[in-house]
Every structure is written in C-alpha cells, then in structure tokens.
Amino acid sequence: MTSHSPDLNVARRAAELRRAGDEPVDVLVIGGGITGVGVALDAAARGLSVTLLEAEDLAFGTSRFSSKLVHGGLRYLATGDLATAKESAVERHLLMTRIAPHLIRPLGQLLPFAPGVTARQRAAGSLGMAMGDVLRVRARTPRRFLPPPRLVSARTAQRLVPALGHAGLRGGMLSYDGQLADDAHLVVTVARTAAGRGARILTRVRALELRADGATAEDVLTGERLDVRARAVVNATGVWAGSLDESITVRPSRGTHIVLDAADLGDPSAALTIPHEGSISRYVFALPQQHGRVIVGLTDEDSPGPVPRVPVATEGDIAFLLTNLNRVLSAPITRDQVRGSFAGLRPLVDTGATSTADISRRHLVAVSEKGFINVLGGKLTTYRRMAEDAVDLAVDTAGLDAGPSSTASLRLTDTAVAVRPGVERGQVTRAHIDFAVRSEGAMTADDVLDRRTRVGLVDADRERQRAHVESVVAEILSELS
Ligand SMILES: Cc1cc2nc3c(=O)[nH]c(=O)nc-3n(C[C@H](O)[C@H](O)[C@H](O)COP(=O)(O)OP(=O)(O)OC[C@H]3O[C@@H](n4cnc5c(N)ncnc54)[C@H](O)[C@@H]3O)c2cc1C
C-alpha cells in the first residue's frame, strides 16, 4: 500500500478538491463525525479509494458533545439490551488495548452511599457494576486496564471526591470505565489515520443530493457545485440523516452537560455516579476533565422540530443537573458557579417509543430506497463496529474487490506529545495552533477553540484567547496557500 501523510490542511484540501470530480472512487462517505471518519478509515484500510465530505468542520455535530466515555455498556444492561452491552464491552476492549490506548484512560466512578441515595439504588447500582464486570471479563479486558469494582470506605470516597457530604456517608461502590481525553480529538485522529491511508477528507463541502452512484455537493467556501461519482455511497450524517434520505425519521434527543471548576468539587480524582431521584436505571455523572474542569451530565430530552446547527442547553436542563448533583454534596453548587454548558443531539432512529430514553442505542446499517447506505445511531464507543458493518454492506452491495475489515487491530496515528489536547489551564499555545492548522485540518479560530482544543467550552476562556488564535491562524493559513 502506498503511504500518505496523515496531515490535513488547506493546501491538501484544495488539491484533493480539484480531483474530487475526476475518477469515481470506491466509497463516498458523507459526514465527518465519528461514524463517517470511522467508515472512511475502515474502507481505506481495506485498500479502497475513499472520499469523505463534511459540510462544516470535523466533529462539528454530536460527536464533540458526548460525555467522552468509552463505556462497557452498563447502562444498556440496565435496560435489558444485552446485545448492545456486549458490543460496547468488546469495542471498549479493542479501543483501550489496541486501537487507541494513547487516547483513553481508566476512570474510577463512585456510586456514593450517601443519604440522597436509597438502599434500593445502592443495591441496583452495585449489582449493575458487578454485571458490568462480567462483560469486562468476557471481553478479556485485563484488570490492569480496568480494575474490577469494589466497595470503598467513607474516607476513601471522600478522598476521591472531596466535595461529598460527610453526614451519613457510608462509603460507596467504585467501578472503572474508559475515558477519552477528548471526543473531538478522537474524530480528528481517526480522520488523520484514514488520510494516512489515502482517504480524501474534504471539510466544508456539503452534500446536496445522494444517489447510489455518487452525490451532488457544494464547496461551502466558494459556492461551487461538484459531482462526486462513487461505486458505493454511505450517509453518516447523524441527526441530519433525514435531510438526505426522506424515508428516515430521526428522533433527536438532547443531552446536556454543564461545565464546573474542578476546584469547586475539591479537585475530584474519580467521577461521581448519582441515580436520578426515584430511578434505578438513570444517572447523573460528574466527570473530571482536562483544563481543571468537571462536566456534569446528562439529560435525555425529546427534541422534535428542525435540527439546529448547534443545539443549546436550556435553563431547565441546567437546573435539573444541579439539583441531582447537589443531593450528595456537602455544599450545593449554585447557578453562578456554572462556567459553561453544551448540548448534543443523539441520533436515535424513531421506533414510535413513548420516551427517547427507551429507544435502543444499537446502530442501524441499511441500504436506502435510492441505493445508498445509511449508518445511524450507535455511539462513540462502537464507531468501529458500525463502520465495519457499513463497509461490509457497501462491499457486498457494490461488488467491491476488498477483504475483511482490519480496524480491530489498527492503531490510530499518534500526535506529538507537545500538542496533545491537554491544554494547561485553558491556554492555547502557538504550537497547538500550528499543529491544528498544518496537520489537523483547522481552517478558522473556531475550529481551533471549539474542536482542536476545547477552550471554547467556557465562554470567558474563549473570548480571552480569540484574538490571539485568530491572528496566528491567519498567519499560518497565508503561509500554506
Ligand atoms: C449528550 C450525549 C452524550 C453522549 N455520550 C457518549 C459517551 O460518553 N460515549 C459514547 O460512546 N457515546 C456517547 N454519545 C453518543 C455519540 O456521541 C454519538 O452516537 C455519535 O457522536 C454520533 O456520531 P455521528 O458521526 O453519527 O454524528 P455526528 O457527530 O453528528 O456527525 C454527523 C456529521 O455530518 C455532517 N453533515 C450533516 N449534513 C451533511 C451534509 N449534507 N453534507 C456533509 N456533511 C453533513 C455534520 O456537520 C456532522 O459533522 C453521546 C451522545 C450525546 C448526545
């Protein structure tokens, strides 16, 4: 196989865009979220020629608004969805041990036995964690990657999460799951890995119409139309899938997180898992992050109507999260301590269920009436399996000459240590901006602030650095063009 550079930038985009209308490619992918870039990588790794079109920037949609957990499917066990739970555990295993050990760490998650958590909730939560560990064992994930769950004392619980209330605290149950340093970074890394295998990754190109053998698209920057011909076409546009295939009804569900200063929770070293009041299957999580932040999520709200470009958290969502978090803290977190918030739309396939929380998280891969393939649903953790299924179907349907998927053992490309997204104290350095623009396809200051680093999650940090980032981005872009 010819080797290509994984670097994405405006010069490469311009050159590849000029050739996009020439020869037909084997696989045309629409959408540059985790699903689309996963499909592009799976196909390119089989030696197929690939073009991917993304209307905005990589990770512009739902993929950057997740809880950033690579989870073993505990939550699906709770709803009786064993197949999804098993699939999650297997994919978590592959991601943590082979594909992306450099991007994922084990994260302790504490279910506190606090006065706000009933005996039934403690028992159900502990049983779920034990069952989740059976999935870990069956997926053969060693304990050194994910230690098994264990009971901890009140003292240990408070050491892990210092903001927990002491009165009546009876310890807790501690279990482990995978945590991504950053979800948008995973998307960009998968895209770079695909580009390293020859895939053309074209951002700011919107597909207007899909067919079995190609798409009509528009370069968003110039308004120019182009026709891309392909042997197989895969629609991986998430919540927007219905805009390219009217036979699909997506039922978006809004998931909101709030961003807090980790210091306000005593700089926790483990996540908190708090059952919703009166529930044994739904939880609010407080998850420690980079930049000295904690994100608290998440809601599951039906969000009908036109799909917004960027969804917004409501005051109701924020109040709900604070109320649940405060049930177990010694001193409540107030609204003015909330540093930022973000919301994402789950691309759930409409099944007629009464609540979006009851719709299966398993993915859908199917040939549409027009002959292209739709891949939808699932989650970040299972992107590789979704991609494998979609490319298998593309190979079968279009009779492509390709072997089986090789992504289960394909390690994602690495990023120089100096520019990993762990931007200390929310400070974007020149090295970060340089790498983002020359190698990660960033084209604007927003791309850098919101998707190559996550400084933009806190408005005050974003505004403080905007002018600096804008001027460095402009300088590097002029060197590249
Ligand atoms: C709040 C929340 C928390 C979550 N937490 C987790 C978690 O912790 N772990 C986990 O595993 N999963 C989690 N998930 C699920 C996971 O985030 C999603 O399943 C996944 O990100 C969906 O990715 P996608 O690529 O299918 O969609 P998207 O990321 O939305 O990508 C679709 C892309 O298509 C592009 N597009 C749209 N129309 C066009 C067009 N016409 N032409 C070209 N491009 C187009 C969009 O710009 C977008 O970039 C969470 C989801 C939510 C909402």
Our answer on whether the CB atom of 379 is closer than 6 Å to any ligand 1 atom is: yes
Residue 359: its H or E element: none
Contact 383, 100 (CB under 8 A): no
30 Cβ closer than 6 Å to some ligand 1 atom = yes
For position 215, what pLDDT does the model report?
Answer: 98
Half-sphere exposure of 166 (CA within 13 A, CB side): 4
64 lines ligand 1 (CB under 6 A): no
- H-type alpha helices, 283-334: 315-326
Closest CA relative to residue 238, chosen from 60, 471, 445:
60
Q: Are strands 104-112 and 271-275 parallel, antiparallel or unpaired?
A: parallel
Pocket lining: 344 vs ligand 1, CB cutoff 6 Å: yes
Query: Given 3-state DSSP classes, what are the helix, strand and coil percentages for the chain, each rounded to the nearest 5?
Result: 40, 25, 35
- pLDDT of res. 74: 74
In angstroms, how far is CA 382 from the centroid of its own chain? Answer: 10
Is 178 close to ligand 1, i.e. is its CB under 6 Å away? no
- Calculate how far, in angstroms, residue 266's C-alpha sits from the geometric centre of ligand 1: 32
- The neighbour count for residue 4, using CB atoms within 10 Å, is 15
How is residue 423 written in tokens? 């931007």
Contact between residue 243 and residue 237 where contact means Cβ atoms under 8 Å apart: yes
For the chain, the first-to-last Cα distance in angstroms comes to 29
Rounded CA gap, 24 and 146, in Å? 45
Cis before 298? omega within 30: yes
Any ligand 1 atom below 6 A from CB of 36: yes
Closest atom of ligand 1 to CA, residue 382: 11
pLDDT at residue 290 in the model: 85
User: For residue 299, which atom of ligand 1 is closest to its CA?
Assistant: 1
To test the pocket of ligand 1, the residue of 29, 35, 66, 186 to mutate (highest count of ligand atoms within 8 Å of its CB) is 66
CA–CA gap between residue 280 and residue 44 (Å, rounded): 43
- Count the alpha carbons within 13 Å of 330 in the hemisphere toward its beta carbon: 13
d(CA 381, ligand 1 centre) in Å: 12
Q: How far is the CA of 33 from the centre of ligand 1 (A)?
A: 5
CA-244 nearest atom, ligand 1: 41
Find, among 222, 285, 217, the residue nearest to 66 by Cα. Answer: 285
Which residue has its alpha carbon closest to ligand 1 atom 41?
A: 207
Which three-class secondary structure state does DSSP give residue 37?
helix
Atom of ligand 1 nearest to the CA of 208: 41
7: number of Cβ within 10 Å:
16
Give the contacts of 179 (CB within 8 A, at least 6 positions apart): 68, 69, 70, 104, 105, 106, 107, 271, 287
Amino acid 422: pLDDT? 52
Tally of residues, the chain: 481
> If you measure from the C-alpha of residue 69 to the centroid of ligand 1, how many angstroms do you get, rounded to a whole number?
14
Residue 122 Cα to ligand 1 midpoint, Å, equals 32
For helices 82-94 and 383-398, the axis angle rounded to 10 degrees is: 100
Q: Is 235 in the pocket of ligand 1 (CB under 6 A)?
A: no
- Between the alpha carbon of residue 162 and those of residues 154, 169, 174, 326, the distances in Å are 11, 12, 15, 13
| 42 pocket-lining for ligand 1 (C-beta < 6 Å) | no
| Sole residue written with tokens 């599951």 | 300
Out of 240, 253, 342, 451, mutate this one to test ligand 1's pocket (max ligand atoms within 8 Å of CB): namely: 240
Residue 391 C-alpha to ligand 1 middle, in angstroms?
A: 18
Alpha helices in 79-208 (DSSP H): 82-94, 119-138, 154-160, 183-195
Distance CA 20, CA 361 (A): 34
Q: What is the DSSP string of 7-41?
A: -B-HHHHHHHHHHTTSSPEEEEEE--SHHHHHHHH
C-beta of residue 336 within 8 angstroms of C-beta of residue 349: no
**Residue 114 to residue 273: CA distance in whole angstroms:** 11
The letter for the amino acid at 169 is L
Residue nearest to atom 50 of ligand 1 (CA): 66
Residue 316: what pLDDT? 96
Mean pLDDT per 10-residue segment, the chain (481 residues): 86 96 96 98 98 98 97 77 90 97 96 96 93 94 97 98 95 97 97 98 98 98 98 97 92 95 97 93 93 92 91 96 96 97 89 55 85 93 97 97 97 73 72 96 98 93 95 96 83
pLDDT of res. 76: 77
Residue 255 corresponds to which tokens in the numbers above? Answer: 């998931």
Residue 62: CB within 6 Å of ligand 1?
A: yes
**Ligand 1 atom nearest residue 59's Cα:** 49
Which helix (DSSP H) or strand (DSSP E) does residue 363 occupy? none
pLDDT at position 354:
56
pLDDT on residue 348: 81
184, two tokens = 């948008």
Structural domains of the chain ordered from first start: 10-63+184-248+358-409 (3.50.50.60), 102-180+250-346 (3.30.9.10), 415-480 (no CATH)
